[in-house]
Chain A
Amino acid sequence: MDAFEYQIKKDIRNNPIVREVDQARMREMWRSARVICLFAALAIYSAWQHFELIHYGYRLEELQQARAAEEQINRHLRLQLEALRRPQRIEAIAREQLGMVPPGPGDAVVLERVTPSDPPAHSVVASR
């Protein structure tokens, strides 16, 4: 008969044993975590900037096209305005629609001629 083998588990009470926290390692871990977070934030920020740049590129292009279109409309309106101010047209309207006639020799009397002075040399004028 084989010998009856048994083992009595020794009750080891280790509850009072407390694992010691390695403070240095913890600091290192947190430092690493912070650095990783920082890099991650930088990467996200960089990507965000990149996409914002592209977004604003599109927006800028749209606005430039809109501005060009507005400028074109402005030029056409100015052209239309100048065409409406044509002396021939104004005279035709005055004569035919309003029944006006050119002033006769005695209708306008000039008392004194005041000639406008010439603009100074190299003057800055408002751009149209």
Chain B
Amino acid sequence: MSDTPPTWRRTVRRRLLAVAVIFGLWAVAVEARLVWLQVVRHEYYVQRAERQQQRTITLPAERGDILDRDGRVLATSAEATTIYAVPTEIDDPVATTDALCRVLEGCRESKAWRDALLERLSRRRPFAYVKRQVSPEEARAVKALDLEGIGFSSESRRFYPNRELLAPVLGYVGIDNKGLGGLEQTYDRVIRGEDGMSIVFTDARRHAYDRVDRPPTRGASLELTIDAVLQHAVERELRAGVEAANADGGVAIVMDPWNGEILAMASLPTFNPNVYGEFSPEHRRNRAVMDIYEPGSTFKTITASAAFEEGILTPETPIDCSPGYILIGSRRVNDMHRYGVLSFADVLAKSSNVGAIKAGFRVGGERMLRYVRRFGFGSRLSPDLPGEQAGIVWPELNDSALASVSMGYQISVTPLQMVAAVSSIANGGQLYTPRVVRAVIRDGVRTPIEPKVIRRTISPRTAAIMTAVMEGVVERGTARAAQIEGFSIAGKTGTSEKIENGVYVKWKHMASFVGFVPSRKPAVTVLVVIDTPRAMGRTGGVVAAPVFRRISEVVLRQLAVPRNLNPEPPVLGGQDVHRVTHCITSCDVLGVSVTSPPGTITSRPRTAPARCPRRTGARGPGRP
């Protein structure tokens, strides 16, 4: 028997060897490929996988709200749909453009809009905006078309639910969520917040199954000093006054003289910040801080304050205004009438230019300038409102300039400066920083902004004298149209010619009135400026004072300020005793909760409690 293996064994062994070699080579190839993919090209494939499996999305921060002093929303943000196109997926750009233009506002009416859209869709690009931040109706209409290559995304958009209300103060926000005017601009960094980021993990079908978020930080909300209801009333009355006078525009400011809070600030013409692009910059301007004007006779309050504070004049000091004019060099300044000899109180009451100039001369240029600056003129007062002008105050005053400044010419002020200055008279001599923002609310924590006194302007004694003198203006002077029954009012009218191209225009005026009410314990200071009145008259007493009265009536009622002249008797008679007494303890009167003890109203013993007058039905009491 031979030792050599059988033939079949050798054959099997060769074949097994061949198979083993093949398997070995295959394994080596696989291993080599794996090393190539996982070691050599590791970074590349990791990045590629991340691109396919992960999407990084920017989470835009929600802009904070702007609220009025009672928490009413004046500006807020909400999602809006943006329509975009993928032009490379659109086969027929003309048909797509036509279909879109049938439902998109703006495109329907404008051929230029349509041509621009067609051009965007015709370019072979991967992305093009069709229209950003459309209305829900437009988005629904476009979605219903189900067009190839048209997509939708969400963007945050700013909305102003009250439309024109307070628009010049609030400002507006651009398409990229950046504040472009008003408080939106000043407080942009506070309101805007910080964008977040989200990494979304998707599967092969691009369905998200996991995510890692860095959430956005919501912007802070602003609580304003503005009362939206008062603001509406002020805008309504100012608009009525501007229309009645056929004027170019107007400004009205209501200020709390005790802390500098602006309760209402109206500027006409105005605009709708939801569609700010449709309005010219002229409409978007906040005239209360961005426009300067020569205040005219309202500035005589500053001249008088300086004279009283320096002890140069008293209200009884006689001033001879008899010629009805005064010559300063070759320049002649006239009064409206020949007043003769007037007390200084009457100089203000009758708004005599001659008397004011003579008082100004007694004060002197240097002292006058000191008081002008002390009252805040020539400098910006409020940090809240962008574009505030400092006004124009001359560094030195010669005789002619002193005469002009004494009666409110050759000096330019903003309406805000004027109301702040008169508020300092109203509160006894403290000049407060006028402010519109009352508190900042971040993450539910309200941080108030405290009132800030800039400086003392005059002593309380001078302020009291000024109050009495300004009361005379309303009682017997040029501002009788500002009188309100039951309230004492201190104020001053002003009428100044406008300057155009460096020349005073005789027939264009700024008519104004500034005052505070009730004068002995002021609740508000109100300024009204009417720009270029053409009907009714041209003076502040005729044009602005009635607007002041109407605004003040609403403000006093809204703030529940009791009358200080001939007040309601403290003891009531008949059925009213029971009704009012009961209401004082359990109801609210005129919408204001009253918690005073009944004894402050009546000393009579209370009998069976009467029912409160029910406030049923929407129809309120009409005029008697």
Contact = CB atoms under 8 A, between A and B. Distances in A.
B560 interface: yes
Contacts of A87: 162, 165, 228-229, 232-233
A109 B559 CA distance: 12
Nearest to A74: B78
Interface string A113-128: 1100011011111111
Interface in A42-83: 54, 57-58, 60-61, 64, 72, 75-76, 78-79, 82-83
A58 B207 contact: yes
B520 to A, nearest CB: 14
A13 interface: no
Q: Which DSSP category, helix, strand, loop or mixed, fits chain A's interface?
A: loop
B557 A103 contact: yes
Interface string B580-624: 100000000110111110001100000000000000001111111
Contact of B73 (A54, A78, A104, A112): A78
Interface stretch (B176-184, B338-346, B441-449): B441-449
A113 B591 CA distance: 12
Contacts of B159: 79
A18 interface: no
Given A58-B209, A79-B78, A82-B76, A104 B165 contact: no
B592 A114 contact: yes
A124 B446 contact: yes
B251 to A, nearest CB: 19
A100 interface: yes
A99 B560 CA distance: 24
B188 interface: no
Q: Which DSSP category, helix, strand, loop or mixed, fits chain B's interface?
A: mixed
A82 B560 CA distance: 25
A72 B228 CA distance: 26
A127 B218 CA distance: 12
A102 B590 CA distance: 14
B132 to A, nearest CB: 17
Interface residues of B, number: 66
Contact of B444 (A88, A91, A105, A127): A127
A58 to B, nearest CB: 5
B444 to A, nearest CB: 5
B161 A61 contact: no
Interface string B188-211: 000000000000110000011111
A8 interface: no
A21 interface: no
Contacts of B137: none
A88 B446 contact: no
Contacts of A86: 161-163, 165
Interface string B413-449: 0000000000000000000000000010101111110
A108 B557 contact: yes
Contacts of A126: 444
Interface stretch (B20-28, B501-509, B561-569): B561-569
Interface of B: 65, 72-73, 76-79, 136, 154, 159, 161-163, 165, 200-201, 207-211, 221, 228-229, 232-233, 236, 439, 441, 443-448, 484-486, 523, 553-554, 556-557, 559-563, 568, 580, 589-590, 592-596, 600-601, 618-624
The 8 closest A-B pairs by CB, nearest first: A82-B161, A87-B232, A57-B209, A75-B78, A110-B562, A83-B161, A57-B210, A82-B73
Given A86-B161, A101-B622, A124-B444, 8 more contacts: A57-B209, A61-B210, A75-B78, A82-B73, A110-B556, A110-B562, A111-B568, A112-B596
Interface of A: 54, 57-58, 60-61, 64, 72, 75-76, 78-79, 82-83, 85-88, 91, 94, 98-114, 118-119, 121-128
27 contacts: A61-B200, A61-B208, A72-B78, A78-B73, A82-B73, A82-B161, A85-B161, A86-B165, A87-B165, A88-B232, A98-B618, A100-B618, A101-B620, A102-B554, A108-B557, A109-B563, A110-B560, A110-B561, A112-B594, A113-B560, A113-B562, A114-B560, A114-B593, A123-B446, A125-B446, A126-B444, A127-B444
